[in-house]
Amino acid sequence: MLNIDEIKNGIVIDHIKAGQGIRIFNWLGLGKAPYTVAFVVNANSKQMGKKDIIKIDNTIAINFNILGLIDPNITVNIIENEKITEKIKLQLPETVEDVLICKNPRCITSTEKYVPHIFHLENPELRTYRCEYCDEIKSAGDFRE
């Protein structure tokens, strides 16, 4: 396993639900990355039993809203000069824009293409979102990748 010590400046995405790591790996396009990436699946975790971890030896921009939609229990460690300088606890975003797409044909977003698809968190337990305009409910997992 790549130790955090081996990352000089980069990002560690930790506490990913086992089996979900590949989705994040692909979403971030890490298969084509020109820098070192360690992708650990089924690591032992005291809290979770098993977890996935992605260690990226580069500072890349990550949309934490989308990462929070994928899995709000993820933690992100920012590494600078081989030390953790920031721990980011993700959460389900209250509002997302053009991430979840409303499919209701009667919704204004279907008839007026310039209208952004805005969804608000409806139920954090169920991870559901409600369309700003037509009240259509979508699951957080339905985001556009």
Range 84-143, binding Zn ion (CB under 5 A): 102, 104, 107, 131, 133-134, 136
Distance CA 90, CA 102 (A): 24
Nearer CB in complex with Zn ion: 10/93: 93
Tokens of 40: 């650990």
Nearer CB in complex with Zn ion: 108/126: 108
CA distances from 1 to 4, 43, 58 (A): 9, 10, 17
Nearer CB in complex with Zn ion: 104/128: 104
Closest CB 67 distance from Zn ion, rounded Å = 24
Query: For the residues of 104-118, what is the DSSP string, one character each?
Result: -TTSHHHH-TTS--E
Nearer CB in complex with Zn ion: 38/134: 134
Range 61-80, binding Zn ion (CB under 5 A): none
Binding residues for Zn ion, total number by CB under 5 A: 7
Distance CA 90, CA 73 (A): 6
User: To which residue do tokens 């809203």 refer?
Assistant: 65
Which residues of this chain interact with Zn ion, rule CB under 5 A? 102, 104, 107, 131, 133-134, 136
